[in-house]
Chain A
Protein backbone atom coordinates (compact mmCIF):
# COMPACT_ATOMS: atom_id res chain seq x y z
CA UNK A 1 0.00 0.00 0.00
CA UNK A 2 1.23 3.51 -0.81
CA UNK A 3 2.17 5.43 2.31
CA UNK A 4 1.17 9.04 2.78
CA UNK A 5 4.84 9.93 2.79
CA UNK A 6 5.55 8.23 -0.55
CA UNK A 7 2.46 9.57 -2.25
CA UNK A 8 2.92 13.18 -1.14
CA UNK A 9 6.68 13.09 -1.72
CA UNK A 10 6.11 11.94 -5.31
CA UNK A 11 3.86 14.94 -5.81
CA UNK A 12 6.60 17.27 -4.49
CA UNK A 13 8.97 15.85 -7.12
CA UNK A 14 6.36 16.29 -9.84
CA UNK A 15 6.02 19.99 -8.91
CA UNK A 16 9.85 20.32 -8.95
CA UNK A 17 9.92 18.97 -12.49
CA UNK A 18 7.42 21.53 -13.72
CA UNK A 19 9.33 24.27 -11.89
CA UNK A 20 12.47 23.27 -13.81
CA UNK A 21 10.54 23.36 -17.10
CA UNK A 22 9.52 26.97 -16.42
CA UNK A 23 13.09 27.94 -15.65
CA UNK A 24 14.30 26.31 -18.85
CA UNK A 25 11.67 28.17 -20.90
CA UNK A 26 12.63 31.50 -19.28
CA UNK A 27 16.30 30.80 -19.98
CA UNK A 28 15.40 30.11 -23.63
CA UNK A 29 13.45 33.38 -23.76
CA UNK A 30 10.28 31.48 -24.66
CA UNK A 31 7.80 33.53 -22.64
CA UNK A 32 4.74 31.77 -24.04
CA UNK A 33 5.97 28.34 -22.99
CA UNK A 34 7.18 29.75 -19.67
CA UNK A 35 3.76 31.23 -18.97
CA UNK A 36 1.99 27.98 -19.83
CA UNK A 37 4.37 25.87 -17.73
CA UNK A 38 4.14 28.28 -14.82
CA UNK A 39 0.35 28.09 -14.86
CA UNK A 40 0.65 24.30 -14.65
CA UNK A 41 3.18 24.58 -11.81
CA UNK A 42 1.09 27.13 -9.93
CA UNK A 43 -2.04 25.00 -10.22
CA UNK A 44 -0.24 21.83 -9.14
CA UNK A 45 1.20 23.45 -6.05
CA UNK A 46 -2.08 25.09 -5.10
CA UNK A 47 -3.87 21.73 -5.46
CA UNK A 48 -1.23 20.12 -3.27
CA UNK A 49 -1.67 22.82 -0.61
CA UNK A 50 -5.46 22.56 -0.81
CA UNK A 51 -5.37 18.76 -0.42
CA UNK A 52 -3.14 19.09 2.63
CA UNK A 53 -5.13 21.87 4.22
CA UNK A 54 -8.55 20.35 3.59
CA UNK A 55 -7.83 16.63 4.12
CA UNK A 56 -4.44 15.63 5.48
CA UNK A 57 -3.87 18.30 8.12
CA UNK A 58 -7.39 18.13 9.59
CA UNK A 59 -7.12 14.33 9.79
CA UNK A 60 -3.78 14.64 11.57
CA UNK A 61 -5.12 17.33 13.90
CA UNK A 62 -8.23 15.29 14.76
CA UNK A 63 -6.16 12.21 15.51
CA UNK A 64 -3.41 13.85 17.54
CA UNK A 65 -5.30 16.78 19.03
CA UNK A 66 -2.48 19.08 17.89
CA UNK A 67 -3.95 21.96 15.94
CA UNK A 68 -1.28 24.52 16.80
CA UNK A 69 1.67 22.22 16.10
CA UNK A 70 3.45 21.36 12.87
CA UNK A 71 0.37 21.72 10.67
CA UNK A 72 0.01 25.33 11.78
CA UNK A 73 3.59 26.07 10.75
CA UNK A 74 3.06 24.30 7.41
CA UNK A 75 -0.05 26.41 6.77
CA UNK A 76 1.85 29.62 7.42
CA UNK A 77 4.60 28.50 5.04
CA UNK A 78 1.93 27.80 2.43
CA UNK A 79 0.85 31.44 2.79
CA UNK A 80 4.44 32.61 2.16
CA UNK A 81 4.79 30.34 -0.88
CA UNK A 82 1.48 31.54 -2.31
CA UNK A 83 2.83 35.10 -2.10
CA UNK A 84 6.12 34.12 -3.77
CA UNK A 85 4.30 32.26 -6.54
CA UNK A 86 2.14 35.33 -7.17
CA UNK A 87 5.25 37.55 -7.30
CA UNK A 88 6.87 35.12 -9.75
CA UNK A 89 3.68 35.03 -11.84
CA UNK A 90 3.64 38.84 -11.97
CA UNK A 91 7.31 38.92 -13.03
CA UNK A 92 6.56 36.40 -15.80
CA UNK A 93 3.58 38.42 -16.99
CA UNK A 94 5.86 41.49 -17.15
CA UNK A 95 8.52 39.38 -18.96
CA UNK A 96 11.04 40.47 -16.34
CA UNK A 97 13.61 37.65 -16.31
CA UNK A 98 15.68 39.04 -13.40
CA UNK A 99 12.70 39.59 -11.19
CA UNK A 100 11.38 36.13 -12.06
CA UNK A 101 14.76 34.55 -11.28
CA UNK A 102 14.93 36.26 -7.87
CA UNK A 103 11.43 35.26 -6.87
CA UNK A 104 11.77 31.76 -8.32
CA UNK A 105 15.05 31.15 -6.49
CA UNK A 106 13.51 32.24 -3.20
CA UNK A 107 10.44 30.15 -3.88
CA UNK A 108 12.58 27.11 -4.73
CA UNK A 109 14.48 27.19 -1.45
CA UNK A 110 11.40 28.01 0.59
CA UNK A 111 9.58 25.16 -1.13
CA UNK A 112 12.44 22.68 -0.73
CA UNK A 113 13.02 23.34 2.96
CA UNK A 114 9.26 23.11 3.49
CA UNK A 115 9.15 19.81 1.59
CA UNK A 116 12.03 18.51 3.64
CA UNK A 117 10.21 19.18 6.90
CA UNK A 118 7.07 17.52 5.56
CA UNK A 119 8.87 14.52 4.06
CA UNK A 120 11.18 13.87 6.99
CA UNK A 121 8.99 14.82 9.90
CA UNK A 122 5.31 15.52 9.24
CA UNK A 123 4.47 12.79 6.70
CA UNK A 124 6.15 10.04 8.77
CA UNK A 125 4.10 11.31 11.74
CA UNK A 126 0.97 11.16 9.56
CA UNK A 127 1.80 7.58 8.53
CA UNK A 128 2.29 6.69 12.15
CA UNK A 129 -0.89 8.30 13.49
CA UNK A 130 -3.13 7.73 10.47
CA UNK A 131 -2.09 4.14 9.71
CA UNK A 132 -5.70 2.91 9.61
CA UNK A 133 -7.04 5.91 7.69
CA UNK A 134 -4.32 5.91 5.01
CA UNK A 135 -6.18 3.42 2.85
CA UNK A 136 -9.04 5.86 2.33
CA UNK A 137 -7.06 9.06 2.78
CA UNK A 138 -4.55 8.49 -0.04
CA UNK A 139 -7.26 8.02 -2.72
CA UNK A 140 -9.01 11.14 -1.39
CA UNK A 141 -5.78 13.10 -1.64
CA UNK A 142 -5.27 11.74 -5.16
CA UNK A 143 -8.73 12.93 -6.16
CA UNK A 144 -7.87 16.44 -4.91
CA UNK A 145 -4.64 16.52 -6.93
CA UNK A 146 -5.59 15.50 -10.48
CA UNK A 147 -1.99 15.51 -11.76
CA UNK A 148 -0.59 13.40 -8.92
CA UNK A 149 0.24 9.74 -9.12
CA UNK A 150 -0.38 9.78 -12.86
Chain B
Protein backbone atom coordinates (compact mmCIF):
# COMPACT_ATOMS: atom_id res chain seq x y z
CA UNK B 1 0.00 0.00 0.00
CA UNK B 2 2.93 2.26 0.69
CA UNK B 3 3.77 2.58 -2.97
CA UNK B 4 0.22 3.46 -3.86
CA UNK B 5 -0.05 6.25 -1.34
CA UNK B 6 3.09 7.84 -2.70
CA UNK B 7 1.26 8.91 -5.79
CA UNK B 8 -1.02 11.12 -3.77
CA UNK B 9 1.29 12.36 -1.08
CA UNK B 10 3.68 14.73 -2.79
CA UNK B 11 4.64 17.06 0.06
CA UNK B 12 3.19 20.57 0.16
CA UNK B 13 5.39 23.19 -1.45
CA UNK B 14 6.17 24.88 1.85
CA UNK B 15 7.94 21.72 3.10
CA UNK B 16 10.99 21.74 0.80
CA UNK B 17 10.90 25.46 -0.03
CA UNK B 18 11.67 26.64 3.48
CA UNK B 19 15.00 24.78 3.25
CA UNK B 20 15.75 26.04 -0.27
CA UNK B 21 14.98 29.67 0.52
CA UNK B 22 17.03 29.99 3.71
CA UNK B 23 20.06 28.07 2.43
CA UNK B 24 21.54 31.07 0.52
CA UNK B 25 21.49 33.00 3.80
CA UNK B 26 24.16 30.65 5.16
CA UNK B 27 26.30 30.97 2.04
CA UNK B 28 25.96 34.72 2.55
CA UNK B 29 27.02 34.43 6.20
CA UNK B 30 30.01 32.32 5.17
CA UNK B 31 31.03 34.98 2.64
CA UNK B 32 30.58 37.79 5.17
CA UNK B 33 32.63 35.86 7.71
CA UNK B 34 35.50 35.51 5.24
CA UNK B 35 35.18 39.15 4.29
CA UNK B 36 35.43 40.26 7.93
CA UNK B 37 37.92 37.67 9.24
CA UNK B 38 40.15 38.04 6.18
CA UNK B 39 43.35 36.08 5.53
CA UNK B 40 43.61 34.73 9.07
CA UNK B 41 40.60 32.49 8.53
CA UNK B 42 42.44 30.63 5.77
CA UNK B 43 45.75 30.04 7.53
CA UNK B 44 44.84 26.46 8.42
CA UNK B 45 41.81 24.19 8.64
CA UNK B 46 41.86 24.57 12.42
CA UNK B 47 41.35 28.32 12.66
CA UNK B 48 38.02 29.34 14.25
CA UNK B 49 37.14 31.12 11.02
CA UNK B 50 37.82 28.07 8.83
CA UNK B 51 35.83 25.78 11.12
CA UNK B 52 32.88 28.17 11.23
CA UNK B 53 33.08 28.70 7.46
CA UNK B 54 33.15 24.97 6.78
CA UNK B 55 30.09 24.32 8.92
CA UNK B 56 28.13 27.31 7.61
CA UNK B 57 28.60 25.88 4.10
CA UNK B 58 28.37 22.15 4.91
CA UNK B 59 25.40 22.34 7.29
CA UNK B 60 23.80 25.70 6.55
CA UNK B 61 23.87 25.38 2.79
CA UNK B 62 24.64 21.83 1.61
CA UNK B 63 22.88 19.79 4.30
CA UNK B 64 19.96 22.20 4.43
CA UNK B 65 19.15 21.90 0.72
CA UNK B 66 19.77 18.16 0.79
CA UNK B 67 17.27 17.66 3.61
CA UNK B 68 14.65 19.78 1.84
CA UNK B 69 15.25 17.90 -1.39
CA UNK B 70 15.01 14.54 0.34
CA UNK B 71 11.62 15.45 1.80
CA UNK B 72 10.52 16.16 -1.77
CA UNK B 73 12.04 13.12 -3.48
CA UNK B 74 11.39 10.32 -0.98
CA UNK B 75 7.81 9.77 -2.22
CA UNK B 76 8.65 10.27 -5.89
CA UNK B 77 11.77 8.18 -6.33
CA UNK B 78 11.35 5.66 -3.55
CA UNK B 79 7.61 5.51 -2.94
CA UNK B 80 8.45 6.32 0.68
CA UNK B 81 5.95 8.55 2.39
CA UNK B 82 7.18 10.79 5.09
CA UNK B 83 4.29 11.19 7.49
CA UNK B 84 3.33 14.80 8.28
CA UNK B 85 5.92 16.23 5.87
CA UNK B 86 5.08 19.85 6.64
CA UNK B 87 5.49 19.36 10.37
CA UNK B 88 8.69 17.39 9.95
CA UNK B 89 9.99 20.15 7.67
CA UNK B 90 9.06 22.91 10.12
CA UNK B 91 10.67 21.22 13.11
CA UNK B 92 13.82 20.03 11.32
CA UNK B 93 14.28 23.39 9.62
CA UNK B 94 13.93 25.46 12.80
CA UNK B 95 16.27 23.21 14.80
CA UNK B 96 18.82 23.06 11.98
CA UNK B 97 18.93 26.85 11.56
CA UNK B 98 19.34 27.46 15.29
CA UNK B 99 21.87 24.63 15.60
CA UNK B 100 24.10 25.84 12.74
CA UNK B 101 24.13 29.43 14.02
CA UNK B 102 24.91 28.20 17.52
CA UNK B 103 27.71 25.98 16.21
CA UNK B 104 29.26 28.72 14.05
CA UNK B 105 29.12 31.18 16.96
CA UNK B 106 30.81 28.62 19.20
CA UNK B 107 33.61 27.99 16.71
CA UNK B 108 34.18 31.73 16.51
CA UNK B 109 34.42 31.88 20.29
CA UNK B 110 31.49 34.27 20.64
CA UNK B 111 29.93 32.05 23.28
CA UNK B 112 30.35 28.54 24.56
CA UNK B 113 27.50 26.83 22.75
CA UNK B 114 28.85 23.48 21.58
CA UNK B 115 26.58 21.46 23.82
CA UNK B 116 23.40 23.40 22.94
CA UNK B 117 24.43 23.26 19.25
CA UNK B 118 24.80 19.48 19.53
CA UNK B 119 21.41 19.26 21.22
CA UNK B 120 19.70 21.38 18.54
CA UNK B 121 21.35 19.59 15.61
CA UNK B 122 20.95 16.21 17.27
CA UNK B 123 17.22 16.82 17.73
CA UNK B 124 16.69 18.36 14.28
CA UNK B 125 18.77 16.05 12.11
CA UNK B 126 17.88 13.12 14.37
CA UNK B 127 14.18 13.83 13.85
CA UNK B 128 14.74 13.87 10.09
CA UNK B 129 16.71 10.60 10.13
CA UNK B 130 14.05 8.93 12.21
CA UNK B 131 11.13 10.06 10.05
CA UNK B 132 12.95 9.28 6.80
CA UNK B 133 13.96 5.85 8.10
CA UNK B 134 10.35 5.13 9.09
CA UNK B 135 9.19 6.14 5.61
CA UNK B 136 11.79 3.88 3.99
CA UNK B 137 10.98 0.95 6.25
CA UNK B 138 9.62 -1.86 4.17
CA UNK B 139 10.34 -0.15 0.85
CA UNK B 140 11.93 -2.92 -1.23
CA UNK B 141 15.30 -2.03 -2.78
CA UNK B 142 13.96 -2.18 -6.35
CA UNK B 143 16.41 0.46 -7.57
CA UNK B 144 19.96 1.59 -6.86
CA UNK B 145 18.50 4.94 -5.84
CA UNK B 146 16.57 3.41 -2.96
CA UNK B 147 19.67 1.55 -1.75
CA UNK B 148 21.66 4.76 -2.12
CA UNK B 149 19.15 6.73 -0.05
CA UNK B 150 19.39 4.15 2.71
CA UNK B 151 23.21 4.28 2.64
CA UNK B 152 23.07 8.07 2.80
CA UNK B 153 20.69 8.06 5.72
CA UNK B 154 22.79 5.58 7.71
CA UNK B 155 25.84 7.69 7.00
CA UNK B 156 24.07 10.84 8.15
CA UNK B 157 23.39 9.10 11.45
CA UNK B 158 27.12 8.33 11.73
CA UNK B 159 28.07 11.95 10.90
CA UNK B 160 25.62 13.19 13.49
CA UNK B 161 26.77 10.80 16.22
CA UNK B 162 30.43 11.68 15.61
CA UNK B 163 29.53 15.38 15.46
CA UNK B 164 27.74 15.19 18.79
CA UNK B 165 30.72 13.34 20.28
CA UNK B 166 33.01 16.12 18.98
CA UNK B 167 30.77 18.90 20.27
CA UNK B 168 30.77 17.21 23.68
CA UNK B 169 34.57 17.04 23.48
CA UNK B 170 34.81 20.74 22.51
CA UNK B 171 32.35 21.69 25.23
CA UNK B 172 34.35 19.79 27.84
CA UNK B 173 31.67 17.19 28.54
CA UNK B 174 34.07 14.32 27.86
CA UNK B 175 37.46 13.68 26.32
CA UNK B 176 38.12 11.83 23.09
CA UNK B 177 40.81 11.65 20.39
CA UNK B 178 39.73 14.85 18.62
CA UNK B 179 41.76 14.73 15.40
CA UNK B 180 40.92 11.09 14.67
CA UNK B 181 37.23 11.69 15.43
CA UNK B 182 37.22 14.75 13.18
CA UNK B 183 38.67 12.66 10.33
CA UNK B 184 35.98 10.03 10.79
CA UNK B 185 33.25 12.72 11.06
CA UNK B 186 34.41 14.46 7.86
CA UNK B 187 34.81 11.16 6.02
CA UNK B 188 31.28 10.02 6.82
CA UNK B 189 29.93 13.46 5.96
CA UNK B 190 31.66 13.97 2.63
CA UNK B 191 31.71 10.37 1.41
CA UNK B 192 28.94 8.37 3.08
CA UNK B 193 26.25 11.00 3.37
CA UNK B 194 27.23 13.50 0.67
CA UNK B 195 28.33 11.15 -2.06
CA UNK B 196 25.83 8.49 -0.99
CA UNK B 197 22.93 10.89 -1.52
CA UNK B 198 24.44 12.58 -4.56
CA UNK B 199 24.99 9.27 -6.35
CA UNK B 200 21.50 8.00 -5.44
CA UNK B 201 19.99 11.17 -6.90
CA UNK B 202 22.38 11.21 -9.86
CA UNK B 203 21.23 7.77 -11.09
CA UNK B 204 17.85 9.40 -11.63
CA UNK B 205 18.45 13.04 -12.46
CA UNK B 206 21.53 12.89 -14.70
CA UNK B 207 19.81 10.70 -17.32
CA UNK B 208 16.50 12.49 -16.65
CA UNK B 209 17.47 16.16 -16.93
CA UNK B 210 20.34 15.74 -19.33
CA UNK B 211 19.10 12.83 -21.45
CA UNK B 212 22.28 10.83 -21.02
CA UNK B 213 22.61 7.04 -21.04
CA UNK B 214 21.86 5.41 -17.68
CA UNK B 215 24.68 4.75 -15.22
CA UNK B 216 25.91 1.24 -16.01
CA UNK B 217 24.14 -1.43 -14.00
CA UNK B 218 27.39 -2.77 -12.45
CA UNK B 219 28.20 0.73 -11.31
CA UNK B 220 24.92 1.76 -9.68
CA UNK B 221 24.42 -1.72 -8.23
CA UNK B 222 27.68 -1.80 -6.30
CA UNK B 223 28.49 1.86 -5.72
CA UNK B 224 26.39 2.58 -2.61
CA UNK B 225 27.31 -0.70 -0.92
CA UNK B 226 31.02 -0.22 -1.63
CA UNK B 227 30.90 3.30 -0.28
CA UNK B 228 29.23 2.13 2.92
CA UNK B 229 31.52 -0.89 3.34
CA UNK B 230 34.71 1.16 2.97
CA UNK B 231 33.40 3.90 5.27
CA UNK B 232 32.50 1.30 7.90
CA UNK B 233 35.92 -0.39 7.65
CA UNK B 234 37.79 2.91 7.67
CA UNK B 235 36.13 4.18 10.84
CA UNK B 236 37.85 1.95 13.44
CA UNK B 237 41.11 2.22 11.53
CA UNK B 238 40.92 6.02 11.71
CA UNK B 239 39.59 6.20 15.27
CA UNK B 240 42.16 3.78 16.70
CA UNK B 241 45.09 5.26 14.82
CA UNK B 242 45.96 2.39 12.43
CA UNK B 243 47.63 4.88 10.11
CA UNK B 244 48.56 2.58 7.24
CA UNK B 245 45.20 0.84 7.07
CA UNK B 246 43.32 4.12 7.56
CA UNK B 247 45.36 5.73 4.79
CA UNK B 248 44.63 2.87 2.41
CA UNK B 249 40.91 2.85 3.12
CA UNK B 250 40.64 6.64 2.86
CA UNK B 251 42.47 6.46 -0.46
CA UNK B 252 39.98 3.84 -1.57
CA UNK B 253 37.10 6.19 -0.69
CA UNK B 254 38.77 8.92 -2.72
CA UNK B 255 39.14 6.54 -5.68
CA UNK B 256 35.48 5.59 -5.40
CA UNK B 257 34.57 9.28 -5.46
CA UNK B 258 36.84 9.83 -8.47
CA UNK B 259 35.18 6.98 -10.36
CA UNK B 260 31.77 8.55 -9.69
CA UNK B 261 32.91 11.98 -10.94
CA UNK B 262 34.57 10.49 -14.02
CA UNK B 263 31.57 8.28 -14.79
CA UNK B 264 29.19 11.24 -14.48
CA UNK B 265 31.35 13.39 -16.77
CA UNK B 266 31.53 10.51 -19.27
CA UNK B 267 27.73 10.21 -19.26
CA UNK B 268 27.27 13.96 -19.55
CA UNK B 269 29.51 13.99 -22.59
CA UNK B 270 26.90 11.69 -24.17
CA UNK B 271 23.94 13.95 -23.38
CA UNK B 272 21.41 14.11 -26.19
CA UNK B 273 20.38 17.62 -25.27
CA UNK B 274 21.16 20.24 -27.88
CA UNK B 275 23.25 22.45 -25.63
CA UNK B 276 24.19 22.30 -21.95
CA UNK B 277 21.98 24.44 -19.73
CA UNK B 278 22.99 26.07 -16.45
CA UNK B 279 22.20 22.97 -14.42
CA UNK B 280 24.33 20.77 -16.64
CA UNK B 281 27.24 23.21 -16.51
CA UNK B 282 27.05 23.37 -12.73
CA UNK B 283 27.05 19.56 -12.56
CA UNK B 284 30.02 19.43 -14.89
CA UNK B 285 31.90 22.05 -12.87
CA UNK B 286 31.12 20.09 -9.70
CA UNK B 287 32.42 16.80 -11.12
CA UNK B 288 35.58 18.47 -12.44
CA UNK B 289 36.16 20.09 -9.06
CA UNK B 290 35.61 16.71 -7.39
CA UNK B 291 38.16 15.11 -9.69
CA UNK B 292 40.61 17.92 -8.94
CA UNK B 293 40.14 17.23 -5.22
CA UNK B 294 40.85 13.52 -5.77
CA UNK B 295 43.94 14.38 -7.84
CA UNK B 296 45.13 16.64 -5.03
CA UNK B 297 44.68 13.78 -2.56
CA UNK B 298 46.75 11.51 -4.80
CA UNK B 299 49.43 14.15 -5.17
CA UNK B 300 49.71 14.59 -1.42
CA UNK B 301 50.02 10.82 -1.01
CA UNK B 302 52.86 10.78 -3.55
CA UNK B 303 54.67 13.85 -2.21
CA UNK B 304 54.68 13.62 1.59
CA UNK B 305 56.19 17.11 1.94
CA UNK B 306 52.94 18.50 0.56
CA UNK B 307 50.97 16.66 3.21
CA UNK B 308 52.71 18.63 5.92
CA UNK B 309 51.56 21.95 4.54
CA UNK B 310 48.50 23.66 6.02
CA UNK B 311 47.10 24.62 2.65
CA UNK B 312 46.26 21.21 1.27
CA UNK B 313 43.38 20.12 3.53
CA UNK B 314 41.82 23.57 3.07
CA UNK B 315 42.23 23.38 -0.69
CA UNK B 316 40.74 19.89 -0.67
CA UNK B 317 37.81 21.21 1.37
CA UNK B 318 37.25 24.13 -1.02
CA UNK B 319 37.30 21.84 -4.06
CA UNK B 320 34.90 19.35 -2.51
CA UNK B 321 32.49 21.62 -0.63
CA UNK B 322 32.38 24.83 -2.66
CA UNK B 323 33.41 23.58 -6.10
CA UNK B 324 31.69 20.21 -5.75
CA UNK B 325 28.68 20.09 -3.48
CA UNK B 326 27.67 23.77 -3.66
CA UNK B 327 27.82 23.75 -7.47
CA UNK B 328 25.76 20.63 -7.89
CA UNK B 329 23.21 21.85 -5.35
CA UNK B 330 22.79 25.22 -7.04
CA UNK B 331 22.32 23.35 -10.31
CA UNK B 332 19.62 21.17 -8.76
CA UNK B 333 17.85 24.17 -7.21
CA UNK B 334 17.64 25.70 -10.68
CA UNK B 335 15.66 22.71 -11.91
CA UNK B 336 13.66 21.79 -8.85
CA UNK B 337 12.45 25.25 -7.80
CA UNK B 338 11.01 26.36 -11.18
CA UNK B 339 9.48 22.91 -11.69
CA UNK B 340 7.78 22.87 -8.30
CA UNK B 341 6.49 26.41 -8.83
CA UNK B 342 5.01 25.32 -12.16
CA UNK B 343 3.60 22.09 -10.71
CA UNK B 344 1.90 23.72 -7.75
CA UNK B 345 0.50 26.53 -9.90
CA UNK B 346 -0.74 24.00 -12.42
CA UNK B 347 -2.48 22.03 -9.67
CA UNK B 348 -3.86 25.22 -8.18
CA UNK B 349 -5.28 26.26 -11.56
CA UNK B 350 -7.03 22.88 -11.91
CA UNK B 351 -6.87 22.93 -15.67
CA UNK B 352 -8.74 26.24 -15.83
CA UNK B 353 -5.71 28.54 -15.64
CA UNK B 354 -2.45 27.72 -17.40
CA UNK B 355 0.70 28.00 -15.27
CA UNK B 356 3.79 29.87 -16.53
CA UNK B 357 6.38 27.40 -17.84
CA UNK B 358 9.69 26.84 -16.04
CA UNK B 359 11.65 29.40 -18.02
CA UNK B 360 8.92 31.97 -17.40
CA UNK B 361 9.32 31.22 -13.68
CA UNK B 362 13.11 31.57 -13.78
CA UNK B 363 14.89 32.52 -17.00
CA UNK B 364 18.22 31.09 -18.11
CA UNK B 365 20.11 34.43 -18.14
CA UNK B 366 19.97 35.26 -14.39
CA UNK B 367 20.83 31.64 -13.56
CA UNK B 368 23.88 31.82 -15.81
CA UNK B 369 24.95 35.11 -14.29
CA UNK B 370 24.83 33.66 -10.80
CA UNK B 371 26.65 30.52 -11.95
CA UNK B 372 29.55 32.60 -13.29
CA UNK B 373 29.84 34.52 -10.02
CA UNK B 374 29.70 31.23 -8.09
CA UNK B 375 32.50 29.70 -10.18
CA UNK B 376 34.53 32.89 -9.74
CA UNK B 377 33.98 32.60 -5.97
CA UNK B 378 35.22 28.99 -6.05
CA UNK B 379 38.34 29.98 -8.00
CA UNK B 380 39.02 32.88 -5.64
CA UNK B 381 38.52 30.63 -2.61
CA UNK B 382 40.98 28.09 -3.98
CA UNK B 383 43.36 30.96 -4.74
CA UNK B 384 42.71 32.41 -1.29
CA UNK B 385 43.94 29.22 0.35
CA UNK B 386 47.24 29.52 -1.49
CA UNK B 387 47.53 33.31 -1.12
CA UNK B 388 45.35 34.36 1.79
CA UNK B 389 46.75 37.88 2.09
CA UNK B 390 45.73 38.79 -1.42
CA UNK B 391 42.64 36.73 -2.15
CA UNK B 392 40.81 35.82 1.08
CA UNK B 393 38.69 38.99 1.15
CA UNK B 394 37.96 39.05 -2.61
CA UNK B 395 36.85 35.41 -2.21
CA UNK B 396 34.55 36.42 0.64
CA UNK B 397 33.13 39.23 -1.48
CA UNK B 398 32.51 36.87 -4.40
CA UNK B 399 30.77 34.39 -2.07
CA UNK B 400 28.53 37.20 -0.82
CA UNK B 401 27.70 38.26 -4.39
CA UNK B 402 26.98 34.67 -5.43
CA UNK B 403 24.72 34.07 -2.41
CA UNK B 404 22.83 37.33 -2.98
CA UNK B 405 22.25 36.54 -6.66
CA UNK B 406 21.11 33.01 -5.78
CA UNK B 407 18.69 34.40 -3.19
CA UNK B 408 17.35 36.93 -5.72
CA UNK B 409 16.82 34.17 -8.30
CA UNK B 410 15.01 31.89 -5.87
CA UNK B 411 12.91 34.71 -4.40
CA UNK B 412 11.96 35.91 -7.87
CA UNK B 413 10.67 32.40 -8.63
CA UNK B 414 8.67 32.54 -5.41
CA UNK B 415 7.39 35.98 -6.45
CA UNK B 416 6.11 34.49 -9.72
CA UNK B 417 4.36 31.83 -7.67
CA UNK B 418 2.67 34.33 -5.36
CA UNK B 419 1.56 36.67 -8.15
CA UNK B 420 0.26 33.88 -10.33
CA UNK B 421 -1.43 32.11 -7.42
CA UNK B 422 -3.38 35.31 -6.72
CA UNK B 423 -4.37 35.46 -10.40
CA UNK B 424 -5.44 31.82 -10.33
CA UNK B 425 -7.57 32.36 -7.24
CA UNK B 426 -9.22 35.42 -8.78
CA UNK B 427 -9.92 33.54 -12.01
CA UNK B 428 -11.35 30.52 -10.20
CA UNK B 429 -13.52 32.85 -8.09
CA UNK B 430 -14.85 34.39 -11.31
CA UNK B 431 -15.68 30.92 -12.50
CA UNK B 432 -17.43 30.22 -9.22
CA UNK B 433 -14.93 27.53 -8.27
CA UNK B 434 -13.41 29.24 -5.26
CA UNK B 435 -15.12 27.14 -2.64
CA UNK B 436 -13.87 23.97 -4.30
CA UNK B 437 -10.32 25.20 -3.70
CA UNK B 438 -10.65 24.91 0.06
CA UNK B 439 -8.21 22.40 1.43
CA UNK B 440 -5.93 22.70 -1.54
CA UNK B 441 -2.31 22.26 -0.64
CA UNK B 442 0.28 24.69 -1.94
**Residues A116 and B76 in contact, CB atoms below 8 Å apart:** yes
Bound complex: CA A24 to CA B273 (Å): 7
Within 8 A of A (CB), among B1-47: 3-4, 6-8
What size tier do the contact residues of chain B reach? 20 to 34
The answer to whether B274 touches A109 (Cβ under 8 A) is: no
Assess whether A32 is interfacial by the CB under 8 Å rule.
no
Contact of B233 with A by CB under 8 A: no
Q: Does the CB pair B4–A98 fall under 8 Å?
A: no
**Main DSSP-derived SS at the B contact region:** helix
Smallest CB-CB separation from A107: which chain B residue? B357
Indicate if the CB atoms of A105 and B274 lie closer than 8 Å: no
Contact of A109 among B78, B275, B346, B358 (CB under 8 A): B358
A98 CB contacts on chain B under 8 angstroms: 359
Contact of B274 with A23 in the complex, beta carbons under 8 Å? yes
Across the interface, do B354 and A20 meet the contact criterion of CB distance under 8 Å? no
User: Is A44 interfacial (CB 8 A cutoff)?
Assistant: no
Minimum CB–CB distance for A23 against chain B, Å:
5
Say yes or no for A101: interface residue by CB 8 A criterion. Answer: yes
List which A93-150 residues lie within 8 A (CB) of chain B: 98-99, 101-103, 105-106, 108-110, 112-113, 116-117, 120-121, 124-125
Contact check: which of B142, B209, B351 meets A112 at CB < 8 Å?
Answer: B209
Q: Please report the C-alpha to C-alpha distance between residue A124 and residue B354 in the assembled complex, in whole angstroms.
A: 33
Whether A116 lies near B3 (C-beta < 8 A) is: no
Q: Which residues from A are CB-within-8-Å of B272? A: 16-17, 20, 24
Q: Is A106 in contact with B273, judged by CB distance below 8 angstroms?
A: no
Bound Cα distance A74, B143 (Å):
20
Which B residues lie within 8 Å of A121 (CB)?
3, 6-7, 79
Interface-centre pick from B3, B142, B204 (highest chain A CB count, 10 A)? B3
Q: Say if the beta carbon of A36 comes within 8 Å of chain B.
A: no
How near does chain A come to B246, taking the closest CB pair, in angstroms?
38
Indicate if the CB atoms of B142 and A109 lie closer than 8 Å: no
The CA-CA distance from A26 to B7 in the complex, in Å, is 34
22 contacts between A and B (CB under 8 A): A16-B272, A19-B211, A20-B273, A20-B274, A23-B273, A23-B274, A24-B272, A28-B274, A69-B4, A70-B3, A79-B351, A80-B346, A102-B359, A105-B358, A106-B357, A109-B208, A113-B208, A116-B76, A116-B204, A117-B7, A125-B3, A125-B4
